[in-house]
Structure 1
Amino acid sequence: MTILDKYILKRYLVTFSVMLLLFIPIGIMVHLAEQIGKMQDNEAPLNEILVYLGNFSIYIGSMLLPIFLFLSVIFFTSKLASNTEIVAILSSGISYARFLKPYIIGATIVATFMLLMGMFIVPNASKGFNEFKFKYLKKGKQDRVTENIFNQLNENDFIYVSRFDPLRQQGYNFTLEHFNEENVLEYKLSAANIRWVPTDSLYRLTSYVKRSLIGETEIIETKTRLDTIFPFKINDLTPVSYIAETKNLFELNEFIADQKRKGASNINTYILAKYKRWSLPITAFILTLIAVAVSAQKRRGGMGVNLAFGILVAFIYIFFDRVFGTLAEQSGFSPLLAVIVPNLLFGGLALYLLRRAMR
């Protein structure tokens, strides 16, 4: 690594670190100012608030790392261009591709940091962040998936609930279907609602109906109320909406496999969360190349024009990421494509801007 590489790489990492140290505390103060009233109203303990703010900084910081990286590269590269340092570097015979080497090294370091953060550190912070939020900031609001819940308990039993009320521990339009080893339906249980009775450690079904098939004969059993037990916990019906965010790489893979086996209706949400962790480091390279291509030329208007363009690109990137993420979660769009398409679009933009800058 030459002196030039070390110089640019140092500016790359130092500017990125300073950007984080400047903006994350500002974000914490703004968030605290907005939520301090709710914390006081709900009597949140000071030690839990301090832990929450630490988790908040990690959780929000991980989401904004690509944007901070993008703006920091634009900032220090624009400064190099305004001081005509880039002109001197390229005039000395160094190719544009060679000039990009320290940026690629810096992006690799940051991408590795993002990958490790997203896989192992952020999940734990996300768990603490969300638990505090629903305990003190959104007290009384539901944090669980509550509609169209479908689960496979084992190879033979399938359950369905149209709606679930976590506060009452009660599900509506409950159905359980049991199949034999030959995949033939043996019986089907249905009830207007199912409720967990903690004092007796059992389930209470109302408007209970059981249809059993014996050969070509159907036997129907009905009861106004039935108290029974099932091989599942009431909370297993409705995992918290943010559960995928709270699991590290290995736990998330196991959780997705388990939810696929159960036939969970919102499986795309979990798969999308997994793919986004892998795509985040790729984003670091794409945004670095776009930032260099945009800011390496000296422009009329200076750094302000480059930063304005950078903020515009950042908002467009967030918009595309949100749109395709929502499509994957709610319309059956492929989670893999939801992650790939924005990166392909901005990857193409990066190549176009680089070729233009090289000319």
Structure 2
Amino acid sequence: MKILDRYILTTFLKTLATVFVILYFIFILQAVWLFIAELAGKDLDVLLIAKFLLFYSPKMIPLVLPLSILLASIMTFGNLAENYEFAAMKSSGISLQRAMKSLMVFIFLLSIIAFFFANNVIPAAEYKFLNLRRDIVQTKPAMAIAEGQFSDVGEYNIKVNKKSGDKGEKLEGVTIHKKAANGIGNNVVIKAKNGVLVNQEESSMLQLILFNGNYYENIIPKKYEERRRVPFVKASFKKDIINIDLSKLNTVEDESNITNTNAMLNVSELTYTLDSLHKNYDKDLVSFAENIYQRTGITSFTKPTVTIEKPKKASDTADLLSLLSATDKSRVLEIANSNLESSRFSIDGTKQEIDLKQKNINNHWLALFEKFVIAFACLLMFFIGAPLGAIIRKGGLGLPIVFAVLIFITFHFINTFGRKLAQENGIPPFLGSWMSSFILSPLAILLTYRATNDIGLINMDVILTPIQKGFQKLFKLKNNNTPK
């Protein structure tokens, strides 16, 4: 490796490492803020929180890595241009493409690593992350109940004054409000001096054992005049056991249940799953079509015979309903209307089910394509950032950050827009995944061309020259018309 290649590669790697660490830390803080409700005030130890963030952090790589490459490229080549190092290279006969050669090889290898990372590491981390969120209550049952405030746990709101024990399983001053059946208000209140949380790791049930308490329940009489008396039932107990279902706690809120699995699959697993999904989708369509056909009551279709008859009189062309009595006519119309409503209800219900299955298929296609998009995004951001840095000739953290943020926000916005549109079956999943790459690729080509040919970011002469000539003609014409 030549000295120049080593120098440029070393400078770029130092800048990339610094930028990557800073951006990665920022995105991790954003994750902490996103899950602060699940982490704060629930007696989690440092190791469990570290494991939580460790399993969440790999999904940040598709965002952090392209942005880091873009910013590092602009800063590196901007510094070289600002310090006239590019001028020295060009005077020695070294072109921009030659200066970028070592970095091209490195970015190409990095994009391959990014693909394997997205194909193997991210699915495994996503699987462990989702399972950790589901199992964290079973691992530490006291996490479900915070101290000194009401915690929403299934169909109960539970408050404890103090928790103790190795896992916070011993409770003091327990107050429980049981939610009403309609979800509005509560009619049952349970108070106990002490309580114990008992949970088996393989079970989704949390058992709350209460000691020395009272049970209160408001009674709503059927007669309205008796409701003003506000009757209630009170009972005391030495020991009471409440079973709480934890299966609905810590459910994943990032995506719908349909899309929870595709992020855990690699390319081969996604290909196999998509084949099964397409077969089931086609089978459901055929089954629905046959079901609608059977509803018509038509057993077979026969080719109608064409006969030429003499025109009938107007009195002979009456419709079939006119041959029936008023009672039979009403019954026929009611049956026809009922059949139509039944068919419409079946079609609407099946359409929703088919749309959900199509959305599931689209999400799996998007997950498949995005593993390749991240690799291409690394190359794309380099070929945008490197020539842009050479053009603007500014290094540091000022102007490069502005350009990097604007370009990456555009890339991320188009990517999100295309993904959402593809999920709703508005465009093919392939186009939804690659839309941002297709739109920004011409920009990379344009910037590379302009940087190679020593053309600025915007050729102001094209804009200013016609204006200057216009003013010159105007002043010349005015001087000619001025009397001497």
TM range (shorter): 0.5 to 0.7
What residue number does 1:77 align with?
77
Letter matched to residue 288 of structure 1: F
Q: Could you tell me how far 1:43 is from its partner in structure 2?
A: 5.4
Larger Rg: 2
- Displacement of 1:124 after TM fit? 1.0
1:229-269 deviation digits (Å, cap 9, x = unpaired): xxxxxxxxx96522111112222222222222221322011
Match of 2:266 in 1: 248
CA distance in 1, matches of 2:434, 2:35: 36
Distance 1:240 1:130, change over 3 A: farther
Distance 2:81 2:371 in 1: 34
Aligned to 1:166: none
Do the aligned partners of 2:81 and 2:394 also contact (CA within 8 Å) in 1? no
Residues 62 and 117 of structure 1 are in contact (CA less than 8 Å); yes or no, is this contact kept in structure 2?
Answer: no
Q: Kindly tell me: are residues 247 and 8 of structure 1, through their superposed partners in 2, closer, same or farther at Cα, counting changes over 3 Å?
A: same
Of stretches 42-51 and 60-69 in structure 1, the one that deviates more from structure 2 is 42-51
* 2:372 alignment partner, one of 271, 274, 278: 278
Is the CA contact 1:290–1:350 (under 8 Å) kept in the aligned structure 2?
yes
* Partner residue, 2:6: 6
C-alpha contact (below 8 Å) 1:38/1:136 kept by paired residues: no
Q: Is the 8 A contact 1:12 1:73 kept in 2?
A: yes
Contact 1:42 1:136 (8 Å CA) reproduced:
no
**Aligned partners of 2:99, 2:84: CA distance in 1, in Å?**
14
Q: Indicate how the Cα distance of structure 1 residues 88 and 19 shifts in structure 2: closer, same or farther if over 3 A, else same.
A: same
Q: Does 1:354 align with 2:448?
A: yes
Which segment drifts farther, 312-321 or 56-65? 56-65
| 3-state SS in 2 of match to 1:331 | coil
Residue in 1 that maps onto 2:18: 18
Residue 44 (structure 1) shift: 4.9
Q: Does 1:260 align with 2:260?
A: no
- Partner of 1:321 in structure 2? 415
Q: Distance in 2 between matches of 1:329 and 1:37?
A: 29
Structure 1 unaligned regions, length at least 5: 142-237
* Deviation of 1:130 (Å): 3.4
Q: Distance in 2 between matches of 1:337 and 1:300?
A: 35
2-side partners of 1:301 and 1:107: how far apart?
Answer: 20
Task: Tell me how many residue pairs correspond in the alignment.
Answer: 262
Q: Give, in whole Å, the separation in 2 of the partners of 1:22 and 1:117.
A: 20
User: Does residue 339 of structure 1 match 2:433?
Assistant: yes
Question: Corresponding residue for 1:129?
Answer: 129
By how many angstroms is 1:22 displaced?
2.7
What's the counterpart of residue 103 of structure 1?
Answer: 103
Alignment of 1:1-359 (within 5 A): 1-32=1-32, 35-41=35-41, 44=44, 46-133=46-133, 240-263=258-281, 264-265=357-358, 266-297=360-391, 299=393, 304-359=398-453
- 2:426 and 2:268 map into 1 onto residues whose CA distance is 25
TM-score normalised by structure 2 residue count = 0.50
Distance in 2 between residues matched to 1:239 and 1:85, nearest whole Å? 55
Aligned partners of 2:404, 2:30: CA distance in 1, in Å?
23
* Structure 1: distance between partners of 2:373 and 2:35: 32
- 1: CA distance, partners of 2:392 / 2:28: 35
> How many Å separate the matches in 2 of 1:134 and 1:349?
44
The structure-2 alpha-carbon separation of the partners of 1:135 and 1:72, relative to structure 1 and needing over 3 Å to count, comes to farther
> AA paired with 2:275?
A
Question: Which SS does the other structure have where 1:93 is aligned?
Answer: coil
CA positional deviation for 1:270: 0.5
Partner residue in 1 for 2:156: none
Query: Structure 2 stretches of 5 or more lacking a match?
Result: 138-143, 145-151, 154-255, 282-356, 454-484
- C-alpha spacing 1:40/1:345, structure 2 compared with 1 (3 Å): closer
Q: Is the 8 A contact 1:112 1:281 kept in 2?
A: yes
Percent identity of the aligned residues? 23
Question: Structure 1 288/325 Cα, relative in aligned 2: closer, same or farther at 3 Å?
Answer: same
Q: Which amino acid is 1:262 matched to?
A: N
Q: CA deviation at 1:135?
A: 6.4
| Alpha-carbon separation, structure 2, partners of 1:247 and 1:281 | 17
- The Cα shift of 1:63 comes to 3.0
Quick one: structure 1 residues 243 and 43, their matched pair in 2 at CA, closer, same or farther if it must change by over 3 Å? farther
The answer to whether the Cα contact below 8 Å between 1:256 and 1:270 also exists between their aligned partners in 2 is yes
Cα distance in structure 1, aligned partners of 2:394 and 2:109 = 32
Contact 1:252–1:274 under 8 Å retained in 2: yes
Q: One-letter code of the match for 1:244?
A: N
> What's the TM-score once normalised by structure 1's chain length?
0.66
| Structure having the larger proportion of residues in strand | 1
- C-alpha distance in structure 1 between counterparts of 2:370 and 2:4, whole Å: 34
Shift of 1:337: 1.4
Give the Cα–Cα distance (whole angstroms) in 2 for the partners of residues 26 and 303 of structure 1: 16
